[in-house]
Chain A
Amino acid sequence: MRRTVLGLLALTGTAVLMGTGPAFADGATTPSPVPSAAEPTTHPEASDTPKPAAPAERSRPARPAPSAEPTRAPARDQVSVVPSGAPDTGVTTGSTGSGTGGTVIGAGAAAVLLVGGGTVFVVRRRASGA
């Protein structure tokens, strides 16, 4: 009896851990299709990355990566602030459904518990001759 209870508790703990693990992983790895925090309003952040000295004097070999929106006005011609990296302009359906993994694992664990518990119940009843 004690073993049964302990076994059930262990199964429950496993199911909880398996169900919640992917949720944390999702939060950390799901790519954000649209960058969120964007533009400072009135106080520009103190940035470690030097901004280009003049709008039209961008150095081609260097790739300045401003850490936030600059406050100065855009230049009349050319690109005044060169963004870093490649734009993320494609959101696939797979990247939006990452929460289903936890659901499937949790549901699977519940099903295993139900079937296993039912089996134990039947076997015990038969063994006891009830």
Chain B
Amino acid sequence: MTAFSRRAFTAAALASVLTACGGGTAAPPAATATPPPKPAAGSRPASGPAPVRLLIPAIGVDTPVMPLGLAADGTVQVPPVEADDRAGWYRHSPVPGRTGPSVLLGHVTVGRYGDGVFRHLGRLRPGDRIEARLENGTAAAFAVTAVRTVPKNDFPVDDVYGNVARPEVRLITCGGARTADGYADNVIVFAVQDGAGSPTSGER
């Protein structure tokens, strides 16, 4: 091998090694690349004090609650992917305890951080208790009426966000088949405030 060919070989090998090193940095970790959702100015709902904590004793959930809005693509925001996972309240839904479906969301898993705050949401059964504590110190208690697992491409928008005549909550996370890109389904828990009337159409 001549001196020139040795130089060419060395350059080629060096280029390959550099390429290999660059591959690791080209794609930043998905968990840290996206900034957490920022509550917009004036995110405090006009309908009353926001929920600040959610308790689900049956699955050991006791989590802070953050307000969530809409993403630019029209989907609901979700809590940030971080080690200190927490639930979020969709602030265009009623405050828990008010008439209507109050929507709370949480992750089932948070990537490299492991389990999300709603990891075991699918284990809830009718009658299990849910308590939402509001920022004014009051609380609203609910009882689970139904737990549904639905395909993401057939999300029951009306059942989740549709009008109801009593205070209810919807707890939403992901579930079903797990792939490298995420989950195929959503797990939705329907609950009604203690002492409220008959179930609504979404609680099948």
**A78-B78 in contact (CB<8A):** no
Query: A38, A41, A87: which has the most chain B beta carbons within 10 Å?
Result: A87
- Kindly list chain B residues whose C-beta atoms are within 8 Å of the C-beta of A40: 40
A107 to chain B, nearest CB (A): 4
* Per-position 1/0 for A77-88, Cβ under 8 A of B: 111111111111
A85 to chain B, nearest CB (A): 5
0/1 interface trace, chain A 37-76, chain B, CB 8 Å (1 if under): 1111100000001000000101010010111111001111
- Which of B57-65, B138-146, B150-158 forms contacts with chain A? B150-158
| Chain B interface, number of residues (Cβ within 8 angstroms) | 91
- Cβ-defined contact, A79 with B100, below 8 A: yes
**Do A95 and B5 contact each other (CB < 8 Å), given the known contacts A74-B45, A87-B78?**
no
Q: What residues make up the interface of A, taking CB atoms closer than 8 Å to B? A: 1, 4-5, 8-9, 11-12, 15-16, 18-20, 22-24, 26-27, 30-41, 49, 56, 58, 60, 63, 65-70, 73-107, 109-110, 113-114, 117, 120-121, 124-125
B: which residues have CB within 8 A of A? Answer: 1-2, 4-5, 8-9, 11-13, 15-17, 19-31, 33-42, 45-47, 69-81, 90-94, 98-101, 103, 105-112, 116, 118, 152-153, 155, 157-158, 161-164, 172-175, 178-183, 186
17 new A-B pairs (CB below 8 Å) besides A39-B39, A74-B47?
A: A4-B8, A9-B8, A15-B12, A32-B30, A34-B78, A34-B81, A36-B72, A37-B71, A76-B46, A76-B47, A91-B81, A92-B183, A95-B180, A95-B182, A106-B20, A113-B12, A121-B1
